[in-house]
Structure formats: structure tokens, C-alpha cells
Amino acid sequence: MVPTTYYLILSAVLFSIGALGVVFRRNVLIIFMCVEMMLNAVNLTFAALARHFLDLNGQIFVLMAMVVAAAEVAVGLAILMKVIRNKDTTNVQDINLLKG
């Protein structure tokens, strides 16, 4: 049986990679993909701790997080497509209309 800490470390590594991807990439689609990867890493943490404490509530939370992620991806990609079509760029630094 694999110790729970291994799963937590793997989840932290995936989360860090996703976070660094959000900060370092400039294509909005890839940033969005890295956000989804971060959500997945947190789901993995919840599932690992659900098995660790033998509590089913962790898996229910993962289910809810997956539903929220699905809805967020649908609406977020629709918004992204509109913005990209409007500004004619996929560079996140060009979407700066609200910049002070």
C-alpha cells in the first residue's frame, strides 16, 4: 500500500507545475489548461485524504469540484473565445483594457 504522503507530494508537485505554468505562459488557453491542472491536483489531494481517513466526504467534495470545473470550463472557454475574437490575439498581456 502506497503511503498517503506520496500522493500528497505528487499533488503538490502537480499544483506547483500548474502554478508556474499560469505565471510563466502568455497564451490564455495554456493558462486556462494549467488552472485546470491545479484543480486536478487538489482533487487528487482530496481523494488521497479520503482514503487516508476512510471518509467518503472527501470523494463527494471531489465530485462537486469536478462539476464546478466542468461548468467553469464551458463558460470560461466561451468568454475566452469572444475575447480572443474581439482583440485578435491570444497573448494575455494584450488583454489590458482595465489596466490603470
Partner 1 sequence: MVLFIIFSLIAVVAAIGVVVSRKPVYSALFLLVNFGTLAALYIMLEAQFLAAVQVIVYAGAIVVLFLFVVMLIGGGELTDIRDPNKTLAQRLNWARLVAIVLAGLLLGALAWGFITGSLNPLQGSEAAFDQGSGQAIGNVLYTDYLLPFELTSVLLLVGMIGAVVLARPPE
Residue 97 touches partner 1, criterion: CB under 8 A: no
If one asks whether residue 72 binds partner 1 (CB under 8 A), the answer comes out as yes
Residue list 23-52, contact with partner 1 (CB under 8 A): 23-27, 29-30, 32-34, 36-37, 40, 43-44, 47-48, 50-52
Number of residues counted as binding partner 1 (CB under 8 A): 71
Q: Name the percent of the chain in helix, strand, coil, to the closest 5.
A: 80, 0, 20
Cβ closest to partner 1, residue 66 vs residue 97: 66
With helix as H, strand as E and coil as C, how does 20-55 read? HHHHHCCEHHHHHHHHHHHHHHHHHHHHHHHHHCCC
**Considering only CA atoms, which of 39, 37, 58 is closest in space to residue 49?**
58
Least distance between partner 1 and beta carbon 100 (Å) = 16
78 binds partner 1 (CB under 8 A): yes
Q: Please tell me whether residue 94 binds partner 1 under the rule CB under 8 A.
A: no
Q: Are 21 and 9 in contact (CB under 8 A)?
A: no
